[in-house]
């Protein structure tokens, strides 16, 4: 495991001077740290079903908040939700050659439709299907089959559909949220009359993903086009948002595909033009998944556990009543409930503020640390003395665990939205600074090699989209992440092949 | 097909005097009418995958509105959402004997994890699994397996979990929404320290379903306990909400199961009591599905198509601009958009009012009829004359298609919430009146037979929970729907067996 530089904020916390809540730390063993953060925050766990995870309530609530925000953005851009079958007949998958090649190796296949008693008394599969069914790894083929029925004339276009669903891609080596056999996602599928419109749609949804990642997840991303070798099976062009994790690796956080007429031709999605001609449609698809939860964890969390941006936190504020002997607990609890009720009336980013009063009978320190490990943005400790002085004792998850602040109650209520905004923005700024520090522009193979022999990160360099230098990439376990769309107007000479007039490509190790 | 009496409201519309939008009518052929309503409202359609349906945007939006309201109710009663694997190992299903018997005949079985090229060039299943996986028909066994890990002590209880998911029960004869191989649902699963708590939970969730059905779906339901023969496989007691469709048949719209310690014993869900003893938990499960959309359709819709209660309508108001020659269309469109924007600022039942301006270039009549068939609660036609007079021309889906009313614009904006409430309440009242007219209390086998030889409906009668008179029920294709909880305090003599001291059971034909 390579060592790497911690983001500046974590350094301020002076992790090294204290025992951390998560063992090992990021520096000691990043992959194991990740597993321990997931466990300590009670986000998910492995299930007895190979490759499948159980998403626990705290993890699922983060996903629900992601869904809610994305769903609003999809609807605002004119999309409607629908639902298509879980099963895809084998023959459908076979219609698009590249597509089936991409997914055949990792399909869950349904071959029977009942269980019956076998010779040894146990149940065995029975009722063999005439045609095996594949559990959807993605739905281009089944949705395309419906589109071909729904589209007759140019008046039926565009069709702008999204589906929230589970999908299955059989994986042998799994990691919670990052790579599991079953995962949850959304898949947008659209059909258009012209290539231009379909390309516009592809870019519009890439923009939606970028805005969501930055505004809601506080995760800065590089938007770009995938190189030929990294395209979605069957697509003409795949666009991606690439985020940088704290081990400086890239994580593909969402993709938007311009499918050209490939699927329309394979599935006969045709329409009659205004002039009466029959044309094939132009289609797109785009998706993000529960993998985003993994990206969120690895971008913001620290050696004390999960850090969740307020926009996605299941609880944005936890109130911790501090009960002392010689004081009536009811007084403190009533005071806390009243404050919670007042805060819940307020809105931040057009949503009611989410507040939990943790009244469990647990030691105060244990309780506080649980919420730190779960990443709750703001903790308020309230005891008899705070009530007397009319104040709350605030801890923020973006600051050190012992760095707390007494705030007059009225001021807290008035400024709570500002505090949340400050935390949200601070996390984005910190992630941007970390990425900036771990990004370099290299102009020679030597500099490229030196970069990836060192800490690594994102390397931008003029490079041809050409598999001829793949061996060099493999040597450093590096891949072309994308050809960035922004800040990438200049062309130059490929550092690997000498080809002229090429754009920059971002290279990195990746998940 | 038996004839039946139409609900009073539909009679007022005097269906017989005009051509109806849906052919056949309910009286002519109820099952076919249902299919045609689904089609005309564009709610769903059969897919190329046997037994699976495609839920189209208008149908899915109704389901989303159901989900949103139910989800709020679940959270308000202390439940949290989580997600468990789609696949259930065969051995898990086998742990509870009654349970596996109930589902083995209708399981989709995954036996392989990839496709590879076969001898004839096509793809064939490969990578056989050591243990077949069943696509979940319900999740008691997999969730129970997790509960057994999560629960150690009484302090870990209760566990109150809900899951929104797809499930598969292989069906040969399918009907859109009512019976499909794959359907969407929610399944609540809870574990408790005592039988009392688990029974309370079972009844609490039954109450949530009843309130949802009546307040949101405007569907009155009979709440009761299932007879022994109709219990969920593995449950101690199953409770149900039973709704009456317009063909007087019952539809089971939701169930809540008290599972006793059956699943806890099969799966070793144990906890240590305060005193240090090891006890089995008491568990419950409860669910409603996309079948509710079928119930909604068959309760309210008429011979002009779908009728949706405002609380569930994807669009509550549609504004239809009326464009005339010699008038600038922009004037009318701007006026309509301004009204829509104003209405969207208003809230009804704590949600912003949902308004569509239908600007499509279509004949006015065709457009209007599309929205009637889709069940939009309020239609507003607005043309130059209405603008001049400062009014809107309102049609309501709960009134006849030609029964329209001019309302001053300001008055409409002020009263829009009242109009929606009036429609919502009117639908519930109408459904209640229909059910009352088709419900009877019978006190002899002769009266029972006469009732089901006639129009039928819900027959309440003193009856033992005893399979001995099943043949009589079969003769009329009638089943015991439930032993009602409300208005069922008296006991009497079973009309079938002469047993003393039995409660009333509700009998009906059913879906």
- pLDDT tens per residue, range B142-152: 999 999 999 99
- pLDDT over threshold 90, residue B361: no
Residue A1's pLDDT is what? 37
Residues of chain B contacting A355 with CB distance shorter than 8 Å:
none
Give the Cβ contact number of residue B121 at 10 Å. Answer: 6
Residues of chain A contacting B115 with CB distance shorter than 8 Å:
90, 93, 100, 104-105, 107, 109, 132, 134
- pLDDT over threshold 70, residue B18: no
Please check whether residue B8 is in contact with residue B434, taking contact to mean a CB–CB distance below 8 angstroms. Answer: yes
Closest approach of A280 to chain B, Cα-based (Å): 21
Place of tokens 């208005």: B487
- The residues near A285 (Cβ < 8 Å, ≥ 6 apart) are A138, A140, A187, A188, A189, A190, A232, A235, A256, A257, A259
Residue B389's pLDDT is what? 94
pTM beyond 0.90, yes or no: yes
Long-range contacts, stretch B357-364, CB < 8 angstroms, 24+ apart: B357/B318, B357/B319, B357/B321, B357/B333, B358/B318, B358/B319, B358/B320, B358/B321, B359/B321, B359/B333, B364/B320, B364/B322
Of A81, A92, A168, the CB nearest to B86: A168
Average pLDDT, chain B: 94
- Interface contact flag, A54 B92, Cβ < 8 Å: no
State how far the Cα of A177 lies from the Cα of A52, in Å rounded to an integer.
10
Residue B7's pLDDT is what? 53
The CA-atom distances, in angstroms, between B41 and each of B22, B307, B375 are: 10, 10, 8
- pLDDT tens for chain A, residues 1 to 511: 344 455 544 444 444 455 799 999 999 999 999 999 999 999 999 999 989 999 999 999 999 999 999 999 999 999 999 999 999 999 998 887 888 888 999 999 999 999 999 888 889 999 999 999 999 999 999 999 999 999 999 999 999 999 999 999 998 788 999 999 999 999 999 999 999 999 999 999 999 999 999 999 999 999 999 999 999 989 999 999 999 999 999 999 999 999 999 999 999 999 999 999 999 999 999 999 999 999 999 999 999 999 999 999 999 999 999 988 877 889 999 999 999 999 999 999 999 999 999 999 888 889 999 999 999 999 999 999 999 999 999 999 999 999 999 999 999 999 999 999 999 999 999 999 999 999 999 999 999 999 999 999 999 999 999 999 999 999 999 999 999 999 999 999 999 999 999 999 999 999 9
- pLDDT over threshold 60, residue B15: no
The CA-atom distances, in angstroms, between A95 and each of A123, A285, A431, B70, B496 are: 35, 17, 43, 40, 60
Q: Please state which of the ranges A320-324, B404-408, B485-489 shows the lowest mean pLDDT.
A: A320-324
What is the number of alpha carbons within 13 Å of residue A169 lying toward its C-beta? 16
Of B92, B113, B170, the CB nearest to A113: B170
State how far the Cα of A306 lies from the Cα of A308, in Å rounded to an integer.
6
DSSP H helical ranges for A216-326:
262-267, 291-300
Residue A295's pLDDT is what? 98
- Interface contact flag, A87 B48, Cβ < 8 Å: no
Place of tokens 């030929």: A228
Place of tokens 């009466």: A276
- pLDDT tens per residue, range B222-281: 999 999 999 998 999 999 999 999 999 999 999 999 999 999 999 999 999 999 999 999
- Interface contact flag, A82 B54, Cβ < 8 Å: yes
- Give the 3-state secondary structure of residue B66: helix
Give the helix/strand (H/E) hosting B64: helix B57-76
Cα first-last separation, chain B: 14
- The residues near A459 (Cβ < 8 Å, ≥ 6 apart) are A439, A440, A441, A442, A448, A451, A452, A478, A506, A507, A508
**pLDDT band with cut points at 50, 70 and 90 for residue B1:** very low
Separation of CA A199 from chain center: 23
Residue A100's pLDDT is what? 85
Burial B380-395 (b: 16+ CB within 10 A, else e): bbbbbebbeeebbbbb
Q: State residue B126 phi and psi, 5-degree precision.
A: -145, 170
Cα first-last separation, chain A: 14
- Interface contact flag, A81 B92, Cβ < 8 Å: no
- Interface contact flag, B52 A86, Cβ < 8 Å: yes
- Interface contact flag, B145 A61, Cβ < 8 Å: no
Instruction: Give bridge partners of residue A73 from the DSSP assignment.
Output: none
Handedness of CA B148, B153, B156, B157 (dihedral sign): positive
- The residues near A506 (Cβ < 8 Å, ≥ 6 apart) are A222, A224, A242, A250, A458, A459, A460, A480, A481, A482, A483, A484
Q: State residue B112 phi and psi, 5-degree precision.
A: -135, 160
Helix axes B409-437, B291-300, angle to 10 degrees: 100
Residues of chain A contacting B125 with CB distance shorter than 8 Å:
109, 111, 132
Handedness of CA A119, A121, A122, A128 (dihedral sign): positive
- On the 0-12 / 13-18 / 19+ scale of CB atoms within 10 A, B286 is buried
Residues of chain A contacting B87 with CB distance shorter than 8 Å:
49, 52, 108, 182
Please check whether residue B294 is in contact with residue B306, taking contact to mean a CB–CB distance below 8 angstroms. Answer: no
State how far the Cα of A324 lies from the Cα of B375, in Å rounded to an integer.
60
The pair of three-digit structure tokens given for residue B494, joined into one six-digit string: 């079973």
Residue A32's pLDDT is what? 97
């Amino acid at each position: 495991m390579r060592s790497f530089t911690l983001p500046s904020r974590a350094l301020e916390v002076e992790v090294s001077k204290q025992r951390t809540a998560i063992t090992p730390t990021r520096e000691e063993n990043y992959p194991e740290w990740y597993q321990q953060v997931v466990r300590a925050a009670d986000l998910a766990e492995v299930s007895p079903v190979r490759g499948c995870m159980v998403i626990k309530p705290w993890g699922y609530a983060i996903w629900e908040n992601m869904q809610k925000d994305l769903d609003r953005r999809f609807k605002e851009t004119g999309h409607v939700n629908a639902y298509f079958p879980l099963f895809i007949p084998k023959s459908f998958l076979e219609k698009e050659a590249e597509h089936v090649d991409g997914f055949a190796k990792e399909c869950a296949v349904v071959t029977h439709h009942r269980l019956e008693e076998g010779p040894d008394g146990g149940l065995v599969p029975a009722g063999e299907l005439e045609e095996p069914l594949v559990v959807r790894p993605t739905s281009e083929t089944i949705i395309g089959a419906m589109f071909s029925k729904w589209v007759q004339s140019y008046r039926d276009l565009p069709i702008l559909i999204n589906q929230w669903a589970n999908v299955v891609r059989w994986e042998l080596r799994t990691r919670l949220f990052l790579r599991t056999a079953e995962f949850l996602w959304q898949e947008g599928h659209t059909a258009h009359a012209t290539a231009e419109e379909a390309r516009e749609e592809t870019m519009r949804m890439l923009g939606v993903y970028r805005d969501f990642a930055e505004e809601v997840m506080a995760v800065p991303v590089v938007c770009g086009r995938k190189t030929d070798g990294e395209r979605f099976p069957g697509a003409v062009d795949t666009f991606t948002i690439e985020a940088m994790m704290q081990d400086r690796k890239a994580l593909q956080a969402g993709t938007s595909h311009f499918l050209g007429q490939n699927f329309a031709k394979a599935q006969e999605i045709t329409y009659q033009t205004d002039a009466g001609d029959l044309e094939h449609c132009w289609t797109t698809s785009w998706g993000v998944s529960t993998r985003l939860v993994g990206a969120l964890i690895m971008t913001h969390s620290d050696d004390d556990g999960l850090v969740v941006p307020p926009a996605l936190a299941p609880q944005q504020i936890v109130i911790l009543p501090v009960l002392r002997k010689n004081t009536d607990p009811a007084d403190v609890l009533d005071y806390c409930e009243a404050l919670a009720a007042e805060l819940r009336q307020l809105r931040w980013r057009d949503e009611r503020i989410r507040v939990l009063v943790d009244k469990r009978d647990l030691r105060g320190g244990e309780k506080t640390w649980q919420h730190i490990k779960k990443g709750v943005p703001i903790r308020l400790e309230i005891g008899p003395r705070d009530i007397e002085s009319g104040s709350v004792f605030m801890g923020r998850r973006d600051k050190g665990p012992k760095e707390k602040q007494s705030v007059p109650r009225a001021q807290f209520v008035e400024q709570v939205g500002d505090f949340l905004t400050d935390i949200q923005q601070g996390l984005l700024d910190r992630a941007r600074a970390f990425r900036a520090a771990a990004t370099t522009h290299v102009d020679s193979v030597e500099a490229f090699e030196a970069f990836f022999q060192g800490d690594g990160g994102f390397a931008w360099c003029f490079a041809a989209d050409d598999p001829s230098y793949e061996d060099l990439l493999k040597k450093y376990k590096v891949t072309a992440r994308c050809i960035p769309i922004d800040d990438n107007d200049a062309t130059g000479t490929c550092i690997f092949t000498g080809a002229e007039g090429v754009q920059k490509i971002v290279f990195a190790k990746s998940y």
